[in-house]
Amino acid sequence: MFRNFDIKSLMPIIVLIVLVVFFTAINPNFFSLRNFARIAIAASPFLMVAIGVTFIIVMGSIDLSMEGTVSLSAVIFCFAFLYFGGTLASGGWIALFAAMCFGMFYGALNGFIHAKLLIPSFMSSLAMGFVGIGATVLLTGGGIVRIDDDVFRMLLTYRVQGFPLMVYVAAFFLIAGLLIQKKTILGRNLYAIGGAEDLASASGVPVLKTRIMAFALAGFYYSLAGILQVAKLGQAESVTGANLMFLSITAAVVGGVALWGAIGGVFNALIGVLIVTVINNGMVVIGLPDYIQDGVLGALVIVAVILSTNRSTVKFVK
């Protein structure tokens, strides 16, 4: 599962296990199927975003457009869902494809602006994020779009083996992400570009095309996050994607994805998301006062990063 078998790459998992043991020791309720289901629900949309941005980080770029893309695809999904009758049975499923296509398109546009017009990804994606949020505000008039279809909401309310369906959807796309990373040309080329862009170019890797495809892929995953957010909350609005930028990048880094590219991958993103979600859940479950939670989360993130990233490689990787 890892690109390099050394102890550092196992650290994120160890951190996760230590956290689980720690929270369970203080409140045994933490270690229960019901709570794991709660953690999984919280993690599902978040994981999709983290996977998306991991592809970009591995490529050595950064994508900050997720909040806008998630909100906008969630809202587009809701509008399309309502347009096609407001139930999954009446044709609302078309909205699923509409949202995914939109996410992919918006990501590709983001990638195009960055790669073709040569704007640093940091800047272009941040701007695209704001455009996305602004567009969401215009579409919704600042309001909330609700989906009340019980069939669609089964993603949240119907459980198999104790977990809601949306968790299985997220798991499916997690595996798809792993497959893309390990088994496709696109996945390999991301690592090539992240490792040495000039060399990738000199090896005939179509850098421009790969970059745009990577951003499209990220956008696709953001749209999945948007759909899962709607499944989870039954609504979409301009802040549906709020907080995801910081959280997803944090999760990727905590999980062992190096911000300078080419190190880590989808599996690390999963571990990172679980670490962050477990911390958030565990702090409430053990009864930590809310006003110190932000500080504790920040401190734990730093500790996790120190433990889980091989910082000595920074020197020669780039």
Partner 1 sequence: MLEFQNVSKEFGPVKALANINFKVAKGEIVGLVGENGAGKSTLMKIIFGAYQADSGIILIDGRKTRFSSPRDAMSKGIGMVFQEQSLIGNLSIMENLFLGREREFQKCGLIDFKKMAEASRYQLAKVGLDIDPYMETARLSFSQRQLIELAKVLALEERSSGDLVILLDEPTSVLSEDEVTLLFELVNNLRERAAFIFVSHRLDEVIRLSDRIYVLKDGELVDEVAREKAVASHIQSKMVGREIDTEYYKQDDRLPFAPSPPLLSVQNASVRGRFEKISLDLHAGEVLCLVGTEGSGREAVLRAVFGMHKIDNGRIVYFGNEFLKIRSPNAAVENDVGYMPRERKIEGIFASMNVAENITSCQLPAYARYGLLNKAMELGLADEWIKRLSVKTPSARTDCNRLSGGNQQKVVLAKWRSTGSKIIMLDHPTRGLDIGAKEDVYSMIREMSSAGIGLLLIPDTFEEAIGLGHNIVVIKDGRTVERFDCLKQKVTPFDLVSAMT
Partner 2 sequence: MSTFIKDFIEREKISRRNFLFASAAGISASALPGLFAPSSALAHGHGGYALAWSYRDRASAYWNAIVSGGEAYVESLGLDKSEMVNLINEASSEKSLADIKAFLAKNNGMGAIACDANDSPNARPVVEAVRDAGGFISTIWNKTDDLHPWDIGDSYVAHLSWSGEKPSEDAARLLIDKMGGEGGIVHIGGIPANIPAIERLDGLKNALNDNPNVELLDVQSADWDTTKAADVMASLLTRYGDEIKGVHCANDNMAYGVIEALKAEGITGMPITAFDGNPEAVDLVMGGDLLATVFTNPHWGGGIALALAHQAATGAFVPSEEPNEHREFYGPSILVTPDDAAEFKKTYLESTPTYDWTDRWGLSAGQIQYK
In this complex, which beta carbon is closest to partner 1, that of residue 50 or of residue 262? 262
In the complex, the smallest distance separating the C-beta of residue 215 from partner 1, rounded to whole angstroms, is: 18
Do 246 and 303 meet the contact criterion of CB atoms below 8 Å apart?
no
Cα torsion through 279, 285, 287, 292, rounded to 10: 20
Q: What is the DSSP string of 218-285?
A: HHHHHHHHHHHHHHHHSEE-TTTTTTHHHHHHHHHHHTT--TTSSS--HHHHHHHHHHHHHHHHHHHH
Q: Which stretch binds partner 1 (CB under 8 A): 83-91, 123-131, 181-189, 222-230?
A: 181-189
CB atoms within 10 A of CB 161: 8
Among 262, 276, 279, 301, binds partner 1 (CB under 8 A): 262
**Crossing angle, helix 185-195 and helix 207-233, to 10 degrees?**
110
| Residues 279 to 318 in contact with partner 2, rule: CB under 8 A | 280-287, 289-291, 293
Of 152, 176, 155, 159, nearest to 36 by C-alpha is 159
Q: Which does 203 bind (CB under 5 to 8 A by kind): partner 1, partner 2, none?
A: partner 1
- Residues 299-318 within binding reach of partner 1 (CB under 8 A): 316-317
Residue 308 beta carbon to partner 1: minimum distance, rounded to whole angstroms: 17
Q: What are phi and psi of 5, to 5 degrees?
A: -90, 85
Q: Is the sign of the CA dihedral 226, 65, 48, 285 positive or negative?
A: negative
Q: Which residues pair with 145 in a beta bridge?
A: 236
Residue 29 sits in the site that holds partner 1 (CB under 8 A): no
Q: Name which position in 141, 202, 290, 315 contacts partner 1 (CB under 8 A).
A: 202
Chain positions 203 to 242 lying near partner 2, rule: CB under 8 A, are: 229, 232-235, 237-240, 242
Of partner 2, partner 1, none, which one sits near residue 130, judging by CB under 5 to 8 A according to partner kind? partner 2
> Least Å distance between CB 6 and partner 2?
34
SS3 33: helix
Inter-residue contact 234 to 81 (CB < 8 Å) = no
Query: Based on CB atoms, which residue is closest to partner 2, 87 or 280?
Result: 280
Interface contacts to partner 2, rule CB under 8 A: 27, 29-30, 32, 34-35, 38, 41-42, 45, 67, 130, 133-134, 136-138, 141-144, 146, 153, 156-157, 164, 229, 232-235, 237-240, 242-243, 245-246, 277, 280-287, 289-291, 293
Interface contacts to partner 1, rule CB under 8 A: 3-4, 179, 182-185, 187-189, 191-192, 195-196, 198-206, 262-263, 316-317
